[in-house]
A and B are shown apart, each in its own frame.
Chain A
Amino acid sequence: MRIGDFKETYAADEAVFRTPTVRFWLWALAAALLVFPLLAGEYLIYMANITAVAVVGAVGLNLLTGCTGLISLGHAGFMGVGAYTSAILITKFGVPFILTLPISGLAAALCGVIVGAPSLRMKGLYLCIATLAAQVILEFTFVHWESLTHGIRGLNVPAPTLFGLSLASGPAFYYVIMIVAAISVTASRNLFRTRVGRAFIAIRDRDISAQLMGINLFQYKLYAFALSSFFAGMAGCLMVNLLKVVTPEQYPLHLSIQYLAMIIVGGLGSILGSILGAIFMTIVPELLRSALGLFQGLDPQIMSYLFPLQTVIFGALIVGFLVFEPHGLAEMWRRAKAYFRLWPFEY
């Protein structure tokens, strides 16, 4: 139970993390993430790594779709741009991994701006189709620009290093990914305390009134595309250095849709929602698989029938969540917190 929480200054009122309780749990989370690789094995670290990459990507897409109201089906394509930029810079020009991280983001952002250009005149489904075209064009480019991308065979990258230290092992790269994820989340959270972020929300809620308020729609829509793709590009860069290979088949339309599913399940327009959605979409299939794997000891044959079941359960879970909580996991989390805020003295 939390009482006596008074805001006495404007700074206190505007703080991101407003109460000592929140700050305490945040530090606890940071500490847990810090010691996690010391306790967990390769597998759990890998899962944490891909989850954190998904968080970076989902936060990026949420800026565009959740906060600015522009639907994009090209997110995987932008991740691919980041991944290829990093792989090409590392293999052909020997650029250190850490430098390719922002450059990948910028390259993807540039693509995002180009793709976002028609967004001034298009909304909703129409924009959706335009970004779908971008996804298809990017996939085509990855396959056919063979001199640069090595076509379908893709590019193999060496294990990343940072200031001479090898990041080949899962735990070492874990810290890099976690730091990038933390910075991404913090940056996007803070974005909504600036003019840019508020302009995004104004555009989402009603673009005509946003324009009347003096927001240059075209400029801010492009900002949204650029920022969102920047995050996607960084996620792609992290992914290629994690897997040490990039092929066109890693960034299909299916992945774009998966990212959309993440932010919808998590909660549109909520940073926490993006995080929870990314975790849900990455971890739950694994949990389902492990749970069904427990039956393997009973009869190996039964597994050929049980494994397909996990897709059905996962689909049912997503539909279930959306039916019972259309605002996503973030809203569930908020209600759970609200319940415990005065517990056990609700009345």
Chain B
Amino acid sequence: MKASRYWRVGVALVLALGLSAGAASAQEKIVVGAGQPITGRFAFAGKHINDGLADSLALANEKGGIAGKKIEYIFEDTGYDTNRAVASFKKLMAQHKPVIMYGESTGVGKAMAPEINNTYKVLYGSTSFSEELADRKANPYMIVSGPTYAQQFGILLKYIAANPKKKGVAPKVAFFYSDTEFGRDPIPHAREMAKKLGVEVVAEEVTQVGAVDVTSQLLDMKRKAPDYCIFQGYVVAPIADVIKGARDYGMDTTFMGTFWTMDKQLLDALGPDGEGYMGVNPYAYWWDEDVPEIKAIRDFNKRNHPEITYRPNSYMQGWFTGMIFVKAMRMCAEKKLPITGENLKNMVPQIKDWDTNGLTGKVSIKDTNSTNVGRVYKADVKKGIFVPASDWIYLD
């Protein structure tokens, strides 16, 4: 009898200890999960986005974490495949119960939206700049870590309207986009925006992605002679062919790009033809000297990855996403709210005039869960980098 009582007390003690230890360890860390496209079609950026996000959260941990709690970052590769990404999302949710999730592509965001809204209720960031995901009414838990593609077009059009090639004449612009979701996403909005700003859209050229023949599009553009031409939905090819072709035809169109075509990689591909190339980037670049956050990024890399000499702008996207996550967590902590997906989601629209140390302009989240701010840069072909052509441009 006595022996069995001891036995029971022992079991109870072990159980109590085990449970409290489990509870304690669960409280000490905040889990951020991610399904990253490290392999597959999107690997060119996925790897860097992942590094940026991981490093950004690691820096927050170095600075003491969130109210004494450490952030734990757990990621998986999703191979840019919707089925695998959804599987990975469910697995991470089941195993680690994160309060924030990061995912690849617009498609995955759309596939997960009903379950994020109704079941998982976690703050969700992604590689996508799609307008649809930034729509707070439909997807309250989702954030776009930059201006949406439509807003990026808005920023460029605003710049074009302010800098017409001939004074007093409405600038003429062409849209050159790929026949994909990525290419078509901002176009309807861009047409409206152009009309509002008094910019005339003279041509819309649509092609497939990759090394395709662009002669017919070039001939059409030559006829319509736009002052500016904005690319959307490409990464490298066929932009170089279009620009080289336009130079051969003697056109003096200024070519512009949005986030994915504003990387050093494109300038390297363009070579001397890159002269005059411009575009919008939501973030500062690795080589910017007078930006405190870029200095912090370089210091962090020097300390933790001494072999690194350069980080592309997809790394900055990941880094900035981490900054938003940390900002929302800190806001929760300041208000003494528990850090849950629900509370984090409620913090996002309250971000006002947030100083990101120069990595972006001042961030105020307005009617959509996106940042509304970007900067126009132009190529400096000699140095092979982009330099600012405008100050930060804000959209209303």
Q: How many residues belonging to A are interface residues under a CB distance threshold of 8 Å?
A: 33
| Nearest residue, chain A, Cβ from B114 | A244
Does A188 make an interface contact (CB < 8 A)?
Answer: no
Contact A310:B77 (CB < 8 A) given known A152-B180, A244-B111, A300-B54: yes
Tell me whether A152 and B184 are in contact (CB under 8 A).
yes
Tell me whether A50 and B87 are in contact (CB under 8 A).
yes
Does B302 make an interface contact (CB < 8 A)?
Answer: no
Per-residue CB contact flags for chain B residues 67-111 toward chain A (1 = under 8 Å, else 0) read 000000111110100111011101101110000000000010011
Does B381 make an interface contact (CB < 8 A)?
Answer: no
Sort chain B's interface into a size bin.
Answer: 35 or more
Does B293 make an interface contact (CB < 8 A)?
Answer: no
Tell me whether B90 and A250 are in contact (CB under 8 A).
no
Q: How far is the CB of A87 from chain B (nearest CB, A)?
A: 12
Does B50 make an interface contact (CB < 8 A)?
Answer: yes
User: Which parts of A157-178 form the interface with B (CB within 8 Å)?
Assistant: 159
Q: How far is the CB of B40 from chain A (nearest CB, A)?
A: 8
| Nearest residue, chain A, Cβ from B83 | A50
Dominant SS among interface residues on chain A: helix
For residue A6, which residues in chain B have a CB less than 8 angstroms away from its CB?
none
Tell me whether B107 and A247 are in contact (CB under 8 A).
yes
Does B43 make an interface contact (CB < 8 A)?
Answer: yes
Bound complex: CA A46 to CA B86 (Å): 9
Tell me whether A308 and B87 are in contact (CB under 8 A).
no
Contact A47:B110 (CB < 8 A) given known A152-B181, A293-B76: no
Tell me whether A247 and B74 are in contact (CB under 8 A).
no
Tell me whether A151 and B87 are in contact (CB under 8 A).
no
Does B185 make an interface contact (CB < 8 A)?
Answer: yes
Bound complex: CA A42 to CA B82 (Å): 17
Q: Which of B87, B179, B184 contacts A43 (CB 8 A)?
A: B87
Q: Which of A41, A249, A311 contacts B79 (CB 8 A)?
A: A311
Tell me whether A304 and B47 are in contact (CB under 8 A).
yes
Does A285 make an interface contact (CB < 8 A)?
Answer: yes
Tell me whether B84 and A285 are in contact (CB under 8 A).
yes
Does B343 make an interface contact (CB < 8 A)?
Answer: no
B interface residues, Cβ below 8 angstroms from A: 38-40, 43, 47, 50-51, 54, 73-77, 79, 82-84, 86-88, 90-91, 93-95, 107, 110-111, 113-114, 132, 179-181, 184-185, 305
A interface residues, Cβ below 8 angstroms from B: 41-43, 46-47, 50, 143, 151-154, 156, 159, 243-245, 247-250, 285-286, 289, 293, 296, 300-301, 303-304, 307-308, 310-311
Closest 8 CB pairs of A and B: A307-B77, A152-B181, A43-B91, A43-B90, A307-B38, A243-B111, A41-B94, A245-B110
